[in-house]
Amino acid sequence: KQEVTQIPAALSVPEGENLVLNCSFTDSAIYNLQWFRQDPGKGLTSLLLIQSSQREQTSGRLNASLDKSSGRSTLYIAASQPGDSATYLCAVLYSSASKIIFGSGTRLSIRP
């Protein structure tokens, strides 16, 4: 069964720290992997998308990596700020665009 797992479910760190969020998937035949941010009561905001042929993508303080052989993606956040507090979700798209699986998310809290 294709599954996407995000551990830990919640994370609290002091402001200024660099941190890594994890996303694991059981089936490595992915088409792409997308990271999102969701603020309470809001929709999802796209952060980064990595296609299956890519190893990483960067946007500002964010860097996402992809290792298909180990079934893992990581989202690295540099110099964290209180405004980074949100739930971060990863989603894996398989060859059929109707096969999209989301992880349950990591709720991140940055302490001032």
Partner 1 sequence: NAGVTQTPKFQVLKTGQSMTLQCAQDMNHNSMYWYRQDPGMGLRLIYYSASEGTTDKGEVPNGYNVSRLNKREFSLRLESAAPSQTSVYFCASSEVSPYEQYFGPGTRLTVT
Interaction residues for partner 1, span 47-86 (CB under 8 A)? 49, 51
> How many residues sit close enough to partner 1 to count as binding (CB under 8 A)?
21
If the CB atoms of residues 26 and 104 are measured against partner 1, the closer one turns out to be: 104
Q: Decide: is 44 part of the binding site for partner 1 (CB under 8 A).
A: yes
Residue position matching structure tokens 């200024």:
16
Q: Coil, strand or helix: which one is 42?
A: coil
Distance CA 29, CA 72 (A): 12
If the CB atoms of residues 25 and 36 are measured against partner 1, the closer one turns out to be: 36
**Nearest approach, Cβ of 58 to partner 1 (angstroms)?**
15
Q: Kindly report the length of the chain.
A: 112
- In whole angstroms, how large is the CA radius of gyration of the chain? 13
Report the 3 state secondary structure along 58-93: EECCEEEEEECCCCEEEEEECCCCHHHCEEEEEEEE
By CB under 8 A, name the one of 11, 13, 31, 63 that touches partner 1: 31
If the CB atoms of residues 13 and 44 are measured against partner 1, the closer one turns out to be: 44
Query: For binding to partner 1 (CB under 8 A), which residues are involved?
Result: 31-32, 34, 36, 42-46, 49, 51, 89, 91, 93, 97-98, 100, 102-105
